[in-house]
Amino acid sequence: MDGAIMSSSSVSSFRPSMTTTDLTTNDLTTSASPFIEQARCAGELYIEQPYELYSEENHQAWRKLYARMLPRWDRYANEHFLKGIHSLCLDPDRIPHLEDVNRFLKPLTGFQTKAVSGYVPAFIFFDCLRNRAFPTTITIRRAGKLDYLPEPDIFHDVAGHVPMHTDKHFAEALVRFGECAHTAAEMAAGIRGPDTRTHYLTSVIRAMARFFWFTIEFGLMRGCDGFKVYGSGLLSSYGEIAHAIEAPEVQRYPLQLEWAINQGFEIHHYQPLLFIVDSFDHLFGLVDQLERWMKTGKLSNVAPGEPVVNEEDLKSFLHAELS
């Protein structure tokens, strides 16, 4: 089954792992790249995109993924995404150079892709968004196994996320997410007891992760001819993009902040519940509201459950540099 894929943020609670038996070729295949493993061992989060390491199989994976998604994007994707794909001039046949993507992207909204070696702790991820940088995975899934990948790859990040970043209103909502993370870290810094601070942050990070999931990753938008997809988990999933719109059993409801922040989710199957926004201005207003609720304490005790908030996420907020 074609499954859900998250951003490089830890909020997916997924951690890539690799064994020495995976290290058979020196290319940029997900979970099997010596280059990435070395970067991780060296503690390098931000990396260059070593383009020459992409193998023909890597490019073939991109080509197959792109070709089969095109008709589905035409049918199910929102107009801003379609415009974004056009603006970025992505090559259907070859994995993109991130510097080329940035050359087209930056003049539109100020956003840029930023290559990472993998997992990005939550505060760092959101803080990148605040600075209009998008942590971007550079590896790609195997050409013979296109359908299921629990961790992000360059197809999910560049073909699924980045076209949305060409839209000014969407970009502002993403930046607002980053500002919310800053507010959370500031508020946590003002809490004296370490246990109280940890409880507060765990709840707030969970609330933010859920809201991000139900919007940026799996959001639907109301359009003049029915619902369209703007969530990147759907935009990069051949099977789920159609399921999200067509399947009668999927619950689709207008986005309610109080529901989304208390609703757990699972990443290894098609999503049974999706939320709809009217516009990206509507989305921006809800992120604004998220911050207001954070300030009044409404996010301090959200419902327990998924996603798991791990130690590194907590530490990233506790040790945040608040400039």
The residues carrying an active-site annotation are: 156, 161, 217, 236
CB of 175 to Fe ion, least distance (A): 17
CB of 197 to Fe ion, least distance (A): 28
CB of 153 to Fe ion, least distance (A): 10
Quick one: which of 7, 109, 237, 263 contacts Fe ion (CB under 5 A)?
Answer: 7
Q: Which is nearer to Fe ion, 123 or 218 (CB)?
A: 218
Taking 3-state DSSP, the helix, strand and coil percentages for the chain, each rounded to the nearest 5, stand at 55, 10, 35
Residue 179, classed as helix, strand or coil, is helix
What is the x/- site pattern for Fe ion, positions 99-118, by CB under 5 A? Answer: --------------------
| Residue with token string 């067509």 | 246
CB of 126 to Fe ion, least distance (A): 13
Report the alpha-carbon distance of residue 138 to residue 117 in Å, rounded.
8
Please tell me the count of residues contacting Fe ion according to CB under 5 A.
3
Q: Which is nearer to Fe ion, 7 or 10 (CB)?
A: 7
Stretch that binds Fe ion, among 2-10, 181-189, 259-267, 311-319 (CB under 5 A): 2-10
- Tokens standing for residue 90: 């992505």
Residues 162-201 that bind Fe ion (CB under 5 A): none
Q: Which is nearer to Fe ion, 143 or 216 (CB)?
A: 216
CB of 224 to Fe ion, least distance (A): 27
CB of 208 to Fe ion, least distance (A): 14
206 and 164 Cβ atoms separated by less than 8 Å:
no
Burial 136-147, CB ≥16 within 10 A → b, else e = bbbbbbbbeebe
126 and 11 Cβ atoms separated by less than 8 Å:
no
Stretch that binds Fe ion, among 1-9, 31-39, 237-245, 314-322 (CB under 5 A): 1-9
- The 3-state secondary structure of 251-286, one letter per residue: EEEECCHHHHCCCCCCCCCCCCEEEEECCHHHHHHH
Q: Which is nearer to Fe ion, 6 or 65 (CB)?
A: 6
Residues 210-239 that bind Fe ion (CB under 5 A): 232
Q: Which is nearer to Fe ion, 5 or 39 (CB)?
A: 5
Report the alpha-carbon distance of residue 319 to residue 12 in Å, rounded.
21
Neighbours of 323 (CB within 10 A): 5
Phi-psi region of 136 (alpha: psi -120 to 50; beta: other; left: phi over 0): beta
Residue with the closest Cβ to Fe ion? Answer: 7
Phi-psi region of 74 (alpha: psi -120 to 50; beta: other; left: phi over 0): alpha
Stretch that binds Fe ion, among 7-15, 105-113, 247-255, 292-300 (CB under 5 A): 7-15
Q: Which is nearer to Fe ion, 7 or 215 (CB)?
A: 7
* Footprint on this chain of Fe ion (rule: CB under 5 A): 6-7, 232
